[in-house]
Amino acid sequence: MDKSRIKILIVDDEEDIAHFTAKILQYDGFTAFKAMDGAQALAIFEKERPQICLIDVHLGYSKIDGMDVLRKIKATDKNTECIMITRITDKDTIAEAKKLGVKEYLLKPLASEQWLEKVHVAVNALQGGAK
Amino acid sequence: MANPLANEQALYDKIKDEKITVPLIIWDLMYRYLGDEISAITQITLSYWKYNEPIPVSDAKKIKEHTKKINDMVRKILHHEKIMDEREKIEELKNSNTKLSPVIHELFFHYIGNDVYGIELIVGFYLDPSDENPIPVEDAQKILNKTSTMKQFMDRLREATQQEVTIIGEEAS
């Protein structure tokens, strides 16, 4: 699969995380979008229909939090691969995300390229589904 | 990375033997604020290091801002009784009379404090006002090593003080 055809949405209220994560993914050949709040994330999702979403559970003061974004994305397209970025204290949300079909989690703080490995796992899952 | 403390194993043994815990509210603060700042430093640095490029001055300044926020948060977590802050969780922490065990205090200050200080030194060297320069790739690698060490410390502390948190991954799986 041509990497540039894989669209990835990063949702994180910390601008530098969203911006530089998108930049790394773009360098890596993917088409990446960033959103800093829930409403922006859903608008981009509707318009671009990314196949993979990295979603921070906690979106600061956004009226729509990361779990709302996940629910709406999954309600629209349950095949979208979502990777949730969580904290260790999020056990209830992690359990709910799993019920919604989330297979991969990232615990903040992000360090090294572990998060990118999770993206590649999601890409492989997409490719598996496409076969 | 911060050098291991001479009594590090003894401190972790003490955590285990005395069942020392970290109050949930402090974990929440650590992961909410430190998690974001450390992640931001990682992503900025990685976006250049991964492609063998020096970190430009403009983005080195962003790293510096994130280290300041980490220092500020470390100070608030370790000395929350002395601070004034409007943020809800800090207020909750101040009002809770939560005490951080001296053992946790020592480990936390040593690892997070020293690694953030190390990043500040690297960034500060290249952001000398009289002669600002990009951060070369080899020093970007050192910054990544330090963010990894901070994460490893938080993971190890989480495991050592397991009572509230280690079940999460298993419950999710």
Q: Which two tokens stand for residue A8?
A: 């990835």
Which residues of chain B from 92 to 131 reach within 8 Å of chain A, CB to CB? none
Contact A102, A84 (CB under 8 A): yes
Put simply, whether the predicted model's pTM sits higher than 0.80 gets the answer yes
How much of chain B exceeds pLDDT 90, in percent? 35
Q: Do A87 and B28 touch (CB under 8 A)?
A: yes
Long-range interactions of A123-129: CB distance < 8 A, separation 24+: A123/A1, A123/A3, A123/A6, A123/A52, A125/A81, A126/A1, A126/A6, A126/A51, A126/A52, A126/A81, A127/A1, A129/A79
Over the stretch B58-111, which tens digit does the pLDDT of each residue have?
Answer: 999 999 999 999 988 887 777 665 555 545 566 666 666 667 788 888 888 888
- Tell me which chain A residues have a C-beta less than 8 angstroms from the C-beta of B32: 58, 87
Domain A3-130 coded CATH 3.40.50.2300: yes
Return the domain boundaries, chain A: 3-130
- Has residue B170 been placed in a domain? no
Which residues of chain A from 28 to 57 reach within 8 Å of chain B, CB to CB? none
Contact A65, A7 (CB under 8 A): no
Q: Do B172 and A105 touch (CB under 8 A)?
A: yes
- Has residue B173 been placed in a domain? no
Q: Is the pLDDT of residue B162 over 50?
A: yes
Q: Write out residues in chain A with pLDDT < 50, as ranges.
A: 131
Nearest CA in chain B to A57: B32
Sheet holding A104-107, edge to edge: A31-35, A7-11, A52-56, A81-86, A104-107
Write down the ipTM of this complex: 0.81
Q: Which residue segment(s) compose the domain that B68 sits in?
A: 8-12+21-164
Q: Is A41 buried (19+), middle (13-18) or exposed (0-12) by CB count in 10 A? A: buried
**CB-closest option in A16, A91, A98 to B43:** A16
Q: Do B36 and A17 touch (CB under 8 A)?
A: yes
User: Total domain count for chain B?
Assistant: 1
